[in-house]
Amino acid sequence: MQDSLNGKTAIVTGSSSGIGMGIAEAYAEAGANVVTNSRSQERAESTAEDIRAAGGTALAVEGDMSDRKDAQALVDAAVDEFGGVDVMVNNAGVSNISPALEMTEEEWREVIDVNLTGVFFGAQAAGQQMVEQDGTGQIINISSIFGSIGVQGRGPYNASKGGVNNLTRALAVELAEHDIQVNALAPGFIRTELDAQTRKSGDDDETLDEDDWPYYGYDDQHIHNRNPMGRFGTLEEMANCALFLAAGDHYMTGEIMHADGGWLAFGWGSKSR
């Protein structure tokens, strides 16, 4: 997919680490002018510097996507620097783990505000700019398989990603008249910093005592048992999916692309230990 985004401008929110960073770097390698983003200017600049060191073009912009003004400022910065916005990847996200009956209002609102409201603000600001540019563009919302299943201890994350899925469909229908395609990428279990926060421990060989239910973490053995491909996904695989969506050479809008190693297709199945 080399040069598939040559000359285009792409914004990737939450691109200081994990999937967002992988997508930003892949877009730059494909020829895009990339706008990186984080709530920390230093972290956003770190990814931008890596892109420039590899020969790409990048601008770092600090901003909290749950703040509408910051979302608009991010799009404005891309327009000021590169003349427009062709691709918007709404990736910024947070998570927490807490039983529903013990969760605080602050824990609930933080996840919903960033993961769902922030996606809307980013899509709205980018969509308005794309329409002003006489239409066309790609909006890609990063969802999760957790938007399609229920997982204990992750109520707001499940709710936010389910909301992202249906928001993606609604935006796709509404923006189609402007030739703006809106799709979502829904990863399964990928090796990232966010994944590390929710694993049982740093010991990949540690397994779960079945008497621990309800249990709010997971280990490598769970992934092997529950995933037909038997492994975590990689950042490179997610970046390849995001490259396909960004290129726009497809008849797709309102779709949720699940990149999960067959997790959802497996239903209630589990391979033996």
Contacts of 185 (CB under 8 A, 6+ apart): 140, 141, 142, 143, 238, 241, 242, 245, 257, 259
**Under 8 Å between Cβ of 253 and 171:** no
3-class SS of residue 157: helix
SS3 state at 259: strand
Tokens representing residue 114 in the block: 């960033």
Distance of CA 160 to the CA centre of its chain: 12
Cα–Cα distance for residue pair 80/101, rounded to 1 Å: 47
Q: Within 13 Å and on the Cβ side, how many CA atoms surround 139?
A: 36
DSSP letters of 170-218? HHHHHHGGGTEEEEEEEE-SB-SHHHHHHSS-S-TT----GGG-S----
Structure tokens belonging to residue 75:
């799009």
Helix (H, G, I), strand (E, B) or coil at 252: coil
Provide the annotated active-site residues.
157
CB 133 within 8 A of CB 88: no
